[in-house]
Chain A
Amino acid sequence: MLQFLIRRLIGAVVIMFLIGAFTFFLFYTIPQDFAALSCGKNCSPENLAVIRENLGLDKPITTQFWEFMTGIVTGRDFPQGHCSAPCLGVSFDSGNFVWDSIVDRFPLTLSLTVGGLVIFLVVGLGSGMLAAWKRGTVVDKIVSGASIVLSSFQIYLLGPIALGIFVYSSGLLDNPKYYPFTENPATWALGLLIPWAVMATIFTAQYTRMSRSTMIEQLQEEHVRTARAKGMSRSYVFFRYAWRGSLIPIVTIIGMDLSALLAGAVVTEFTFDLPGLGRLAVDSSINKDLPLTMGVMLFGAFFILLLNIVVDLAYAYIDPRVRLS
């Protein structure tokens, strides 16, 4: 197990490096002078040269790349001051440290993700299991039908409708806004309630269908029948035997959704005008702000790789057959 973990971590570092290299060199294929972008209009050649030197753009590309990557581990010094590890460089656009911008935006993204996840997991898995338990009945048909209808909605459609109803017409809630959780959990939750609900509505449908179909599949397994033949009650068999087996595909999907959401829920953030990581990523890319784009990319990749490892560990926890091989 430990060997497995070490191997996976080494692999993850290698992949991060490759992603970084790919993004970096891809960016340099754009025929654009980053210093000129940073300098803006009415830029004198002297200013340009200073900026170029400050940003390190006068050095060869490979050196720039090397300095960027080593900076992540050791930290770097810039004219603005020392950028401590993990240093992702300085934004061409704002001149701020990239890491600070990410840290600034991340709590919102994390809040959006965690809140939405809790709702759509509880509701999605719950309704899916209910439908499987009541398979073939009216309950099953309603749940299955609703999940198909809901999954065809989109955030940019449901979002404005929800805002219209709860904010503009009735005034029940304020416009979605992020308040730090540490200050007041209640205002934090109220501020994000609408985005959570809208996200959950759409994601839930997928989990409902997934958990219904895998539960039904598991209930037909022979070992589930054996457990029934031993006299274990239907609910015991349902929750101990069938559910355990249905977790593998569900954990897989959770891992994928979670890492995508942590890297930035772009559509949600734009729909509700919330400044999260997704917006940061899109803005940086539009502004051709290389360090910022690199930073957000690597930050997102980190979560994807981390969750991949976590999912693999979860497999091993769920299924003992995975543990030994």
Chain B
Amino acid sequence: MSDNLTLPAQQSPAGASAEPLLTVEGLTKHFPIYGGFPIKRKVGAVQAVDKVDLTVGAGESVGLVGESGCGKSTTGRLITRLLEPTGGKITYAGHDITHASRRELAPIRSEIQMIFQDPYSSLNPRQTVGTIIRSPMEVNGIEPAGGREKRVRELLELVGLNPEHYNRFPHEFSGGQRQRIGVARALALQPKLIVADEPVSALDVSIQAQVVNLLQKVQQEMGIAFLFIAHDLAVVRHFSQRVAVMYLGKVVEVGDRDSIYNRPRHPYTHALLSAVPEVAVDDEPEDRERIRLAGDVPSPIMPPSGCRFRTRCWKAQDKCATEEPPLVRLSDSREGHLTACHFPEEPTTEARDEDIVLDPGLKALEDENAGTD
């Protein structure tokens, strides 16, 4: 099945329409762990992000999904250079910014902005909204036509806040409104790329949709590229044209939205999708496969050898422990749909003849209850 391989699209930009805005190659971040006796020394590392390849085209929205500890937030922070990469290369618009100093980064800094999860803690409580939104312009010495204050009012209006609330403090706004302030701040510098780290997960459902719509408007109307990091698969699907699935610091599958959500090949993507609880809004019987993994994600301190998912995978064989599967296009996958798996699944999410239940406790109960029924 895996004999008919082609090179990953990222490495052959000839196929893409233009040079991507952001290219990440082999991006790695290891957080050292200190310990030992009698003198403390480095005894290991949390392999938060390990050799991640990713591209974001101009104006494109790329989703990054995965469970806790998969390294999606770290990846976002590496790209915005809030963290220093351990290895790999980050190229933004042709510039290598992997280890760029503050000064070297200055001209690019304004083009890459970040939106954070927690609108409560990412805004300075002692500054007015006007000051918060204006400060990136001051720091970067940008003087928009008509003055900074006019620009702040425009931005407030753009994100759906009352421009008259210019002089209010963050605590006078609700959670959703604070996230709008975060968006306005990110837009102040007319960025080309916004890294949004779980921008809606702290919000109530009804407010979540308001912010998603705002981000979508920003993305589509202003042509800003997004790296949308979230654990909610439905939100990512709604927002992103391309999606990368991460597991324990690795990208295990990446592709266009339809490929990932309807034609996934990696067992983990299958498990993830099958775990999402869906509202049954119509009477059609559910025809989704049911996969229940066992236990939690292993520790990124000592990730499994070879394929990192193998310890929870129902298809794992000896090869998976010894050989790390490369992220490649499989024979019947579409262009740009890459999977890192030795024994990929069929490209469908339809129900199987038999459910996959790996959790021993759940399995025992199901067998028992099925027997008594």
Task: State A6–B37 Cα separation when bound (angstroms).
Answer: 10
Please give the distance in Å from A9's CB to the nearest CB on chain B. Answer: 11
**Which residue from chain A places its CB closest to the CB of B39 in the assembled complex?**
A7
Task: State A223–B288 Cα separation when bound (angstroms).
Answer: 38
Task: State A3–B38 Cα separation when bound (angstroms).
Answer: 8
Task: Report A-chain residues with C-beta under 8 Å of the C-beta of B38.
Answer: 3, 6-7, 10
Task: State A150–B38 Cα separation when bound (angstroms).
Answer: 47
Q: Is the interface of B mostly helix, strand, loop or mixed?
A: loop
Chain B 68-87 per-residue mask, 1 if CB under 8 angstroms from chain A, else 0: 00000000000000000000
Q: Is the interface of A mostly helix, strand, loop or mixed?
A: helix
Task: State A259–B37 Cα separation when bound (angstroms).
Answer: 28
**Which residue from chain B places its CB closest to the CB of A2 in the assembled complex?**
B37
Task: Report B-chain residues with C-beta under 8 Å of the C-beta of A6.
Answer: 37-38
Task: State A290–B257 Cα separation when bound (angstroms).
Answer: 80
Task: Report A-chain residues with C-beta under 8 Å of the C-beta of B37.
Answer: 3, 6-7
Task: State A10–B37 Cα separation when bound (angstroms).
Answer: 12
**Which residue from chain A places its CB closest to the CB of B37 in the assembled complex?**
A3
**Which residue from chain A places its CB closest to the CB of B38 in the assembled complex?**
A7
Please give the distance in Å from A323's CB to the nearest CB on chain B. Answer: 15
Task: Report B-chain residues with C-beta under 8 Å of the C-beta of A3.
Answer: 37-38
List A residues 84-124 near B (Cβ within 8 Å).
none
Please give the distance in Å from A110's CB to the nearest CB on chain B. Answer: 33
Please give the distance in Å from A13's CB to the nearest CB on chain B. Answer: 13
Please give the distance in Å from B266's CB to the nearest CB on chain A. Answer: 35
List B residues 15-50 near A (Cβ within 8 Å).
37-38
Task: State A102–B126 Cα separation when bound (angstroms).
Answer: 55
Please give the distance in Å from B71's CB to the nearest CB on chain A. Answer: 23
List A residues 1-55 near B (Cβ within 8 Å).
3, 6-7, 10
**Which residue from chain A places its CB closest to the CB of B36 in the assembled complex?**
A3
Task: Report B-chain residues with C-beta under 8 Å of the C-beta of A7.
Answer: 37-38
Task: State A227–B210 Cα separation when bound (angstroms).
Answer: 39
Task: State A3–B36 Cα separation when bound (angstroms).
Answer: 9
Chain B residues with CB under 8 Å of chain A are 37-38
- Smallest CB-CB A-B distances: 7 pairs: A3-B37, A7-B38, A7-B37, A10-B38, A6-B38, A6-B37, A3-B38
Chain A residues with CB under 8 Å of chain B are 3, 6-7, 10
Q: Please, could you name 6 A-B residue pairs with CB atoms under 8 Å apart, sorted by A? A: A3-B37, A3-B38, A6-B37, A6-B38, A7-B37, A10-B38
